Amino acid sequence: MNSSGRGAWDADDVGEEDDGLERVGHYPDAAEEPDPGVDRYGSPGSDEGVDSLRDGDDPADDYLADDDPGLSSDEDDEVDESQAWVKEMGFPDQLGVVRVWVDDDALIERVRLSIHWRTRLGEQTLQQSFGVVFMLINNYHRLQQRRTLNYYEPEREAAEPLSFEALDRIRERSDEVRRQLEALGDGGHPQLQGEETIGVALHGRVQLKLNLVGQLDGVQFDPTWLRTARIKEISDAVVEAHADARRRFVPAEVIVGEREKLVNELAGLRNETLAMMRRGFY
């Protein structure tokens, strides 16, 4: 395995029977996109989905029981379906297999698996369920942290006094820049140069990938280990692998595209016009 953790997504590191990475956004067996507000772990107050066994549970699930019985009494694990979804409820997949909690920086803090996760998966894989959750987390934080571009420069000083000639030059150049932007079509966007980052846990049995901008991109499990793994082992390993990936992560280099250059120029022309107006004719 590549000790650097960057670009080292090697199936040989996680077992001979590994069937490959299940990527975020590609779930051929998944149903409709899950609603984070819908809790499929059971109704409020029910025991279904907590990380320990209860009377009446299938004895076949005994090896999935959590080693820490304290988790079963943690009131924070109960999700009230009657409330509007908020981030503090965690991000679930559509099958009620897994729920993930993250902090404000999208760092995974806690993972919960249903004690019946193997049955609930059906023909879907655990990687796919995590992929759905990762997609929800990425989308949520993309919206919450969207950068607001503020091109207004109130302190800018005009290069020359306000005049009709200067305004005509700015207008002509602005029209030319807009034509160039239109000619770009869908092209001219910034490009990223770098490598994806892999975080590992349990000596590579669990590998979690971050994309070039540090978003959750997928998780992979050693299939031999996963067949007998306990819930707490899986949950803790995912948290550990993400923390490891975050430590290794190096942001990709942003190569400014032609579109951004033109947009910046257009903003500069607008600000120059405003600055001239503040300065006046002298």
- Asked whether 64 and 57 are in contact (CB, 8 A), the reply is no
Question: Considering the chain, what is the average pLDDT of its residues?
Answer: 77
Each residue's pLDDT tens digit, 117-168 = 999 999 999 999 999 999 999 999 887 655 545 567 888 999 999 999 999 9
Domain spans in the chain, listed from the N-terminal domain onward: 20-146+191-255, 164-189+256-279
174/179 Cα distance (integer angstroms): 9
Judged against a pLDDT cut of 50, whether residue 19 lies above it is answered with: no
Q: What is 75-131 written as a DSSP string? A: GGG---TTSPP-GGG-EE-TTSSEEEEE-TT--EEEEEE-TTHHHHHTTS-HHHHHH
- Asked whether 108 and 242 are in contact (CB, 8 A), the reply is yes
Judged on CB neighbours under 10 Å (0-12, 13-18, 19+), 200 is buried
Question: pLDDT grade, residue 6 (50/70/90)?
Answer: low
Query: Does the reported pTM lie above 0.75?
Result: no
Judged on CB neighbours under 10 Å (0-12, 13-18, 19+), 247 is exposed
* Range 217-239 average pLDDT: 97
Q: What is the CATH number of domain 20-146+191-255?
A: 3.30.1310.10
Instruction: Tell me the one-letter amino acid at 9.
Output: W
Q: Which of 237, 239, 240, 205 lies closest to 224, judged by CA?
A: 205
Among 1-5, 55-59, 227-231, name the one with the lowest average pLDDT. 55-59
Please tell me which residue, 63 or 264, carries the higher pLDDT value. 264
Neighbouring-strand partners of residue 255: 191
Q: Which of 95, 99, 101 lies closest to 124, judged by CA?
A: 95
Neighbouring-strand partners of residue 210: 197, 216
* Range 73-95 average pLDDT: 72
For CA atoms 43, 49, 52, 53, give the dihedral sign: positive
Question: pLDDT grade, residue 182 (50/70/90)?
Answer: very high
Which residue in the block uniquely carries the two structure tokens 């092209």?
Answer: 187
- Asked whether 127 and 242 are in contact (CB, 8 A), the reply is no
Greatest pairwise CA separation for the chain in angstroms: 88
Please tell me which residue, 53 or 110, carries the higher pLDDT value. 110
* Helix axis angle, 258-279 to 164-184, nearest 10°: 160
